[in-house]
Amino acid sequence: MSFRDWVLHVDLDQFIAAVEVARRPELRGRPVVVGGSGDPTQRGVVATASYEARAFGIHSGMALRLAAKRCPEAVFLPSDPPTYQRVSDRFTATLRQFPVVVEVLGWDEAFLGAHTDHPEDLAVGIQEAVRSATGLSCSVGIGDNKLRAKLATGFAKPAGTYRLTRDNWAAVMADRPTDALWGIGRKTARKLAEAGLVTVAQLASADPAELAERFGPVLGPWYRILALGVGDTEVSGAPYVPRSRSRETTFQHDLTDRSEIDAHIATLARRVARDVAAEGRPATRVTVKVRFAPFLTQTHGIALPTPTSDPAELERVALAALELFEHNRPVRLLGVRAELRDA
């Protein structure tokens, strides 16, 4: 086989839970849930769950209290971001030891651009090096573009490799539901199903004009492109640049007093403003997130008249966005996000 360009997607398996188990070996094989303060009697959400916990239906973003109901015997641990960052740094440093272009996606995953005739051999070498450096296992998806490499990782888990390319795309993906595609979530899948498009194959063969009319001139045709397996082939080694900065707070008791809600939004907005200033790029839009009891989450955003990092202005716009909500339910979580101007 001649040398050719490949995209590899490397993803640490159950990253946060795996870090915790690595420093507490006695937890190996037990259901482990990490999130919040680690106290399931307090409000908070699951950051990650071990595979053993996922077997009980526990997943990221779930309320800790619900996770405890689903698996009372689970071990609940507080989140420890500094430790996760240190392990992540070792992970990315290990990837950069290989003759590849590394595009970091987050703490626990990265795309690699490689020119090789044996991508599986490269993947296995990466897995061995990552395990040696971090003590953690990783899965590697191999593809001819980013979309296929990312999806291939799902078939590789846990701790395996899988190749998904144009050659086997239809055989592997055609009969799968549309939300199996990277970029299509459950809500979009439901809308597609209402249009009679349930599988990837049906979406791939849909009329682009009809998709554009129903879902918009940009999103509609884009959904079909995803179903065809078309994706970006360029892996960039440029440093990761955050697109936004955000802060949020989950309250142990529901908020009903509007003045108290306003005060919390103002505080969050000023914290975000400090993050924006530290980033050195002004904000262009402010979005407020409200989670009403019991678990209804809504967001509203407002574009800033001019890019700014001024705390007073970000606070003003955040409070204006808060006015866009119907305040007819108790509030359990508030968040403020500032989208940043491109670097």
Q: 208-215 and 219-227 helices cross at what angle (nearest 10)?
A: 130
3 state SS of 16: helix
Known catalytic membership, residue 109: yes
Taking only Cα atoms into account, the Rg of the chain, rounded to an integer number of angstroms, comes to 22
Query: CA neighbours within 13 Å on the CB side: how many for 188?
Result: 21
Q: What's the rounded Cα separation, in Å, for the pair 38 and 87?
A: 20
Q: What angle do CA 124, 60, 230 make, to 5 degrees?
A: 55
3 state SS of 255: strand
| Alpha helices in the chain, H assignment, sequence order | 15-23, 51-54, 64-70, 81-95, 119-134, 146-156, 169-173, 186-194, 200-204, 208-215, 219-227, 258-279, 311-322
Structural tokens at position 111: 């795309």
Residues 25, 30, 36, 42: what is their CA dihedral angle, to the nearest 10 degrees?
A: -130
Which of 20, 103, 109, 339 is catalytic? The answer is 109
Could you list the active site residues?
109
